[in-house]
Homo-oligomer: A and B are copies of this chain.
């Protein structure tokens, strides 16, 4: 039975015992574990419900809004993770949140990391050097969520031997995140070599008919090797989050 279910039953018993008014009971049952800022309803319940805290997506928010939400989370003892945080924004936000650590390559701001809770190893792979920022977003997310991580960068299919010489580490992983742009062929190839789930991150690296990541997205959705699932273009955070869930 969950924490809030217990609370509800306690309230019902209290009400029956006459120690709570009907009006108050209804009020309590309606009380929900989020905090209402005018522009945001911060979901404090999420860590309980999902085992992972709410994450702040920085794009489209002002630095004031980011700071306010982060403070609510922080004050309530929830860890803080801010994604797609540009260096300029990071500077402004950290002036107000000195406890925040900024990872420039991953464009993530994070509060104190979780204690490792996972025993499964996550491996984060890229096809090229240009895919590293999205891969780092996954790496930082995984670390924040307490998952041991290893990196394997620049092993795209144009030089297969670079990949084949790392089969040992590939086989060790409980879950693999693969970031690739252009032809997006790497997840298919890796999935064919391993027995664990592969989370594919199409990246907007490339030009022309890559259509800002559409080409690798389609490649990955059509992987001829089962065991591959796909997240949004450039969504290293989402891949890391999901990988942490799997590795747990």
Contacts and interface: CB of A to CB of B under 8 A. Distances in A.
Interface string A17-42: 01000100110001011100111110
A52 interface: yes
| Secondary structure class of chain A's binding surface, majority of residues | mixed
A22 B9 contact: yes
A40 B154 contact: yes
A184 B188 CA distance: 10
B224 A127 contact: yes
A193 B26 CA distance: 20
Contacts of A241: 226-227
Given A161-B32, A165-B30, A194-B50, A229 B129 contact: no
Say how many copies of this protein the assembly contains. Answer: 8
B12 A25 contact: yes
- Closest 10 pairs (CB-CB, A-B): A60-B130, A208-B233, A229-B229, A185-B185, A158-B225, A215-B218, A43-B159, A51-B195, A226-B241, A209-B221
Interface of A: 2, 9, 12-13, 15-16, 18, 22, 25-26, 30, 32-34, 37-41, 43, 45-46, 49-52, 54-55, 57, 59-61, 65, 84, 127-130, 132, 153-162, 164-165, 171, 181-185, 188-189, 191-197, 199, 202, 204-235, 237-239, 241-242, 245-246
